[in-house]
Structure 1
Amino acid sequence: MKISIYDTNDEMSKAAAELVAKQLAEKPASVICFPSGDSPTGMLNYIVQWANDGKIDLSQSFFIGLDEWVGMDENDQGSCKYYLKHTFFDKLNTKLINITLFDAKAEDLDAECERMNNFISSKGGLDIMIVGIGMNGHLGLNEPGTPFDLYAHRSELDPVTVQVGQKYFTKETALTEGITLGLKHLAEAGIAVLIATGAKKADIIHESLQGLVTPEVPASILQTLSNAFVLLDKDAASELEHGA
């Protein structure tokens, strides 16, 4: 695990986008997993800008969605699909054709997990997997207590996730279950990237990166990964012990 700390959110976002650009330069047909939420917006803005300016080529790449609220799709304003569509896909001048996202309205969600697992496996695994971190240490919707050795799976949402998740919706929304890629995907990715900004994430960043490695803090798995890059702004890193 390599930790890099930046003065601002913008600098961190640009550095994350540069990791993606480097991966694309080395392998144009890369398999890339993007998250939704507040953290990746700056990174995605850079990627859109560079793609539209012709500085990077996304046309051969395969884009995988990290997770989704069960029962929602791109028509639900707080959904992960909605976010990726409006923040990333729709802003590109060229339409992407290799997009694979969870169908969180599928009748058989376990089969949907298997579909995602099989697709990723068929492409040789994820080349780069980018995640944010929840206030409870979750990555994707791998909630506290999730075993490190799971691939895609259904997830009963932690109360913290349900509470924080309301910020993505314009009205109170019932959130009970998610569907998500697993921590095993992160461990097996060519590059695993965690991005985090803001002082509100400082406690959980410290606990995840310098506390006990335990499924009760899913992000603590990063301590065990030689393929992991952790990109933080100085506020998110403010409680890390000296020398981190």
Structure 2
Amino acid sequence: MKILTHKNYNEMCRAAADIIVKQVQQKPDSLFCLTSGDTPAGIYKLLVQYANEGKVDFSQCWFVGLDEWVGMDKNDAGSCTNFLYETFFIPAKISPSQMMVFDAKAADLDASCEAMNSFIKTHGPLEIMLVGVGMNGHIGLNEPGVNFNSYAHHSPLAPITVEVGQKYFKHETHLTEGITLGLRHLQEAGIPMLLASGIKKAGIIATALEGNVTNEVPASIFQTLSSGHVMLDEDAASGLINGH
């Protein structure tokens, strides 16, 4: 893995956006996995700006959403899919035919997982898979204890994920289960890209990148990914002993 430390959040976002733009230029029909949350927001803002300026053309690209709270969809404020629509899909004028997001309201969640796996198989390989890291080391909604070889799946949320997840909602929201791409998808991606910013992520970044590789810290899988890119700002990197 490459650990790329940038002076601040804006520089980290610019570097990540540049990698995505370069990928589109090299392969216009690339498949990307996008994550939601505060950390990638700046990247999407730049990508929309570049698209509007004609610096990048997403018209042939394919997109999948990384994960979703079970029981929610794009119409639910605070959902992962709503975030992707509001920050990227709508402003970048991405057609619904170019994307696949989880049907997290499906009666049959296993079928929803299979539909996602099938879309990736058809339009893949995943060229770039953007992920963040949770305070417990989760990636997407792959919680501690997850099988490293899993594809899309659904599982109960860890208590800290439920607690931290409340920040995306105006009112306390009942979160119990998540549906997510798996860590096998991450291992098969051309560039698995981990994003982290801010001092609050310094501890878990140090544990994930310099501690033991264990499914109790899902993000530690990045230590095994030769093509992995870890994009950090100085605050998030501040706990690393090797001082990247």
**TM-score interval w.r.t. the shorter chain?**
over 0.9
Give me the whole-angstrom Cα distance separating, in 2, the residues matched to 1:243 and 1:45.
Answer: 29
Partner of 2:220: 220
TM-score for both structures, normalised by structure 1 = 0.98
For residue 55 of structure 1, give the secondary structure of its aligned residue in structure 2.
coil
What residue number does 2:229 align with? 229
Distance apart, 1:227 and its partner CA = 1.3
Long gaps (5+) in structure 2: none
Give the TM-score normalised by structure 2: 0.98
1:1-244 superposed matches below 5 A? 1-93=1-93, 95=95, 97-244=97-244
Q: What letter corresponds to residue 167 of structure 2 in structure 1?
A: K
Residue pair 2:6, 2:232 contacting (<8 A) in 1 also = yes
Post-superposition CA distance 1:142-169 (Å, at most 9, x none): 0011010000000210001000000000
The change in CA–CA distance for 1:159 and 1:106 in structure 2 (over 3 A counts) is same
Contact 1:58-1:96 within 8 A present in 2 as well: no
For 2:40, the aligned partner's letter is P
Report if aligned partners of 1:142, 1:182 keep a CA contact under 8 Å in 2.
yes
Runs of 4+ in 1 over 6 A off after TM superposition: none
Provide the rounded CA distance (Å) in 2 between the counterparts of 1:93 and 1:74.
16
Q: Number of aligned pairs?
A: 244
Mark the CA change 1:78 to 1:11 in structure 2 (over 3 Å): closer, same or farther: same
3-state SS in 2 of match to 1:130: strand
Give the SS at the match of 2:25: helix
Identity, % of aligned positions: 58
Q: Distance in 2 between matches of 1:209 and 1:189?
A: 19
Between Structure 1 and Structure 2, which shows a larger proportion of helix residues?
2
Residues 237, 243 of structure 2: 8 Å contact kept: no
Structure 1 CA distance for aligned equivalents of residues 216 and 126 of structure 2:
25
Distance verdict in 2 for CA 1:75–1:227, change over 3 Å: same
What is the alpha-carbon distance in structure 2 between the residues aligned to residue 200 and residue 23 of structure 1? Answer: 30
